[in-house]
Every structure is written in structure tokens, then in C-alpha cells.
């Protein structure tokens, strides 16, 4: 009969590629681990590992069994989490990932509100780009992520939080433009964007459909604050999310902010979690706190 123990040992073996070290990380001896691996192989009737002098490698079957095993171990962890959290909402540890174009502008309002509404919550924060956050969610290293929707991943569930409109930021000495011409501005080659990998860059490029991204001069900016400085310095124009503007990120007399006519281009910020993780209630509660601490700012 297959056992969770065997799956744990196989996972360690895949990670370390070494029987001895795998046994060590499992806090058992090498023969004990060898035995369990062998029994798993015998039960499944297939070789899972190639034993070679220089370490160990998994066979194709081994890779598949290990992958499925990891999913099972995650699900077992979910059972424990679900039982521990049963009835309790937003208590204990919650590992939250947030993208860089949201975290600095929302957290100063969100964290105090959360501490007030859910004092037992132990929030563990991580700021990173979308694809990394998703990978960590899937590996069970993160519970929830706040990022720009939609997320195309079958094992993800998501919940929209709020719409975040884009504003156009131009140097203050630029002449004003009628609303209908503002879209035009975006097709200039002095559009300033975050460096590759930031979702905000992709979204801005989607807004400027007719712009050839190869024509863009790159400044390697990694923060919106830097980009605003570039705009203030007359080096170009950019798109800024309203969330950033509300947090006074663009409060510079040398920068003028222009709204788009309806329907304004926007992004949708939302929460994402591993579909099978027992986090529905936590996510709903978190969402309502976020919305509550956004609302007054919009008024």
C-alpha cells in the first residue's frame, strides 16, 4: 500500500538527488529511506530512480510520481490548514504576496486597518512580480497574492478587489490637450515604462496597441517613483495607476496628470489563491478590508 511517508521521501530524493542527504532532511537514516523508495517502486512496478555514482536521477516515471506526490502532500497540508482555520477567519499566519505597483501604495492604509479589524492575523508579506507570485502560490509557499487580473491558470481562483484607472502623466510645461487627443500621446516613442517583467508595462503596452514596443527607449526604471522623476525632467510621458496617484506618488509641480475620457483604460486589481487551498473565507474577509480602506480615498 502506498503511503504518504513514501511520497515525502521521494520528494526529498528528487530535491537532493542523493539518498544520504534526502534521508538527512527527513530526519531518518539512509537505509530507512532506501527501503521506502524501493517498496514504492515495487508496489508501483516501475523504476523511479536511476542509481548512479554521481548522485541520483529520477526516471520519467519517477518525475511523474514525484509531481503527483507533491500535489498530494500539498493537499494533505491543506487538510491540516482547513481544520486549524475552521471557523476562524483571518487568524494566524497568512502569507500574502503583492506586486510592486500595488504594495507601496496600498499597504500604508491596509496594514493599520487589518491590525484593527483582525488583531490575531500574523501577516507575512512578500513583494514580487506576478509570475513569481503565481509560482510560489502553486508551490504552497504563499497563501494569497494581490495582483492584476486576470490570471490564466487552471489551478488559480481569483476575486476582484477594485478597478484602478490609468492616468496620463506629462511634463507640466507641455501644452494642455483636449480629452479626445490624449490617446494620441500614447503613440509617441517617448513613453516611459517599467522594465520588462512588470505587469504594468504589459498593460500599458496593451493600452497603446498601435505602438511598436521595439521603438521604446529603455531607461530600466524599476519603480514608478523613478519614472515620475523622468517625466518631471521632461524625458517623456507615462501611464500611472490611480492607486499610485492617490498615494501622492506623483505630487510633483513639474508633472501634470491628465484623465482619459470614459471609458478610461484601467487595470483590475484582485486576490488570487491556489484553488484547492482552504482560503476562501480569509480571502473574502481580506477583500472587504481592502475595499473598505480604498473607499474613503476615492471620495
Partner DNA sequence: TAAAAATACTCCATAGGTATTTTAT
Partner DNA sequence: ATAAAATACCTATGGAGTATTTTTA
* Residue 39 interacting partner from a second copy, DNA, none (CB closer than 5 to 8 Å by kind): DNA
Nearest to a second copy of 45, 220 (CB atom): 45
Q: Which does 297 bind (CB under 5 to 8 A by kind): a second copy, DNA, none?
A: none
Select the residue interacting with DNA from 29, 218, 222, 276 (CB under 7 A): 29
Please, what is the minimum distance in Å from the beta carbon of residue 7 to DNA? Answer: 12
The answer to the question of residue 89 lying near DNA (CB under 7 A) is no
Q: Considering only the C-alpha atoms of the chain, give the largest distance between any 2 of them, rounded to a whole number of Å.
A: 77
Residue 211 CB burial class (10 angstroms; 0-12, 13-18, ≥19): middle
Q: Are 204 and 148 in contact (CB under 8 A)?
A: no
297 contact partners, CB below 8 Å, separation of at least 6 = 109, 246
Query: Looking at 27, 83, 209, 298, which residue binds DNA (CB under 7 A)?
Result: 27
Q: Is 86 exposed, middle or buried (0-12, 13-18, 19+ CB in 10 A)?
A: exposed
Decide if residue 45 touches DNA (CB under 7 A).
Answer: no
**Considering only residues 141-200, where is the footprint of DNA by CB under 7 A?**
none
4/111 with CB nearer a second copy: 4
Q: Among 24, 25, 39, 190, which residue sits at the site for DNA (rule: CB under 7 A)?
A: 39
- Residue 2 contacts which entry, DNA, a second copy, none (Cβ below 5-8 A, type-dependent): a second copy
Residue 257: enclosing H or E segment and its boundaries?
A: strand 255-258
Task: Report the residue from 2, 4, 15, 32 that binds DNA according to the rule CB under 7 A.
Answer: 32
- Pairing between β-strand 156-171 and β-strand 92-98 as defined by DSSP bridges: unpaired
Q: Are 198 and 100 in contact (CB under 8 A)?
A: yes
Q: What is the DSSP letter of 30?
A: H
Please give the residue ranges that form the binding site for a second copy (CB under 8 A): 1-4, 43-46, 60-61, 64-65, 68-69, 71-72, 75-76, 78-80, 82-84, 86, 154, 275-276, 278
What, of a second copy, DNA, none, does residue 51 touch, CB below 5 to 8 Å by kind? DNA
Would you count residue 35 as binding DNA (CB under 7 A)? Answer: yes
Residue 251 contact partner, candidates a second copy, DNA, none, CB within 5 to 8 A by sort of partner = none
Q: With contacts defined by CB under 7 A, how many residues of the chain interact with DNA?
A: 23
Please give the DSSP secondary-structure letter assigned to residue 191: B
d(CA 33, CA 23) in angstroms, rounded, equals 6
Question: Binding to DNA by residue 3, rule CB under 7 A?
Answer: yes
Q: How far is the CB of 41 from DNA (least distance, A)?
A: 9
Cell of 261: 475620457
**Which residue in the block uniquely carries the three cell numbers 506618488?**
249
Q: Does 66 bind DNA (CB under 7 A)?
A: no
Q: Distances in Å between the alpha carbon of 65 and those of 9, 59, 146, 228, 236? A: 12, 10, 32, 50, 53
- Give the one entry of DNA, a second copy, none that residue 28 binds, where binding means its C-beta sits below a cut-off of 5 to 8 angstroms depending on kind: DNA
Our CB check for DNA shows the closer of 26 and 103 to be 26
Distance CA 250, CA 198 (A): 19
The site for DNA (CB under 7 A) is made up of 3, 5, 18-20, 27-32, 34-39, 51-56
Amino acid at each position: 500500500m502506498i503511503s504518504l511517508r513514501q511520497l515525502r521521501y521521494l520528494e526529498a530524493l528528487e530535491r537532493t538527488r542523493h539518498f544520504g542527504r534526502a534521508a538527512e532532511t527527513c530526519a531518518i537514516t539512509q537505509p530507512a529511506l532506501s527501503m521506502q523508495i524501493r517498496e514504492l517502486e515495487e508496489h508501483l512496478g516501475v523504476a523511479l530512480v536511476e542509481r548512479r555514482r554521481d548522485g541520483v536521477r529520477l526516471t520519467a516515471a519517477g518525475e511523474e510520481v514525484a509531481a503527483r506526490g507533491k500535489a498530494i502532500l500539498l493537499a494533505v497540508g491543506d487538510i491540516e490548514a482547513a481544520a486549524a482555520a475552521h471557523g476562524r477567519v483571518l487568524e494566524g499566519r497568512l502569507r500574502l504576496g503583492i506586486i510592486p505597483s500595488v504594495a507601496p501604495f496600498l499597504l500604508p492604509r491596509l496594514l493599520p486597518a487589518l491590525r484593527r479589524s483582525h488583531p490575531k492575523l500574523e501577516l507575512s508579506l512578500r513583494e514580487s512580480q506576478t509570475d513569481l507570485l503565481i509560482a510560489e502560490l502553486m508551490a504552497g509557499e504563499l497563501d494569497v497574492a494581490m495582483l492584476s487580473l486576470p490570471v490564466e491558470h487552471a489551478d488559480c481562483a481569483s476575486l476582484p478587489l477594485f478597478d484602478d484607472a490609468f492616468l496620463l502623466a506629462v511634463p507640466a510645461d507641455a501644452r494642455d490637450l483636449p480629452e479626445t487627443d490624449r490617446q494620441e500621446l500614447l503613440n509617441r516613442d517617448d513613453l516611459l515604462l517599467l522594465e520588462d517583467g512588470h505587469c504594468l508595462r504589459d498593460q500599458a503596452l496593451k493600452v497603446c496597441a498601435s505602438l511598436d514596443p521595439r521603438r521604446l527607449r529603455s531607461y530600466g526604471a524599476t519603480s514608478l517613483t523613478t519614472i515620475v522623476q523622468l517625466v518631471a525632467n521632461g524625458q517623456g510621458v507615462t501611464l500611472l495607476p490611480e492607486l499610485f496617484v492617490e498615494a501622492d506618488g506623483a505630487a510633483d509641480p513639474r508633472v501634470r496628470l491628465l484623465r482619459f475620457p470614459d471609458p478610461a483604460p484601467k487595470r483590475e486589481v484582485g486576490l488570487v489563491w491556489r484553488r484547492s487551498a482552504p482560503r476562501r473565507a480569509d480571502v473574502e474577509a481580506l477583500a472587504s478590508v481592502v475595499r473598505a480602506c480604498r473607499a474613503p480615498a476615492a471620495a
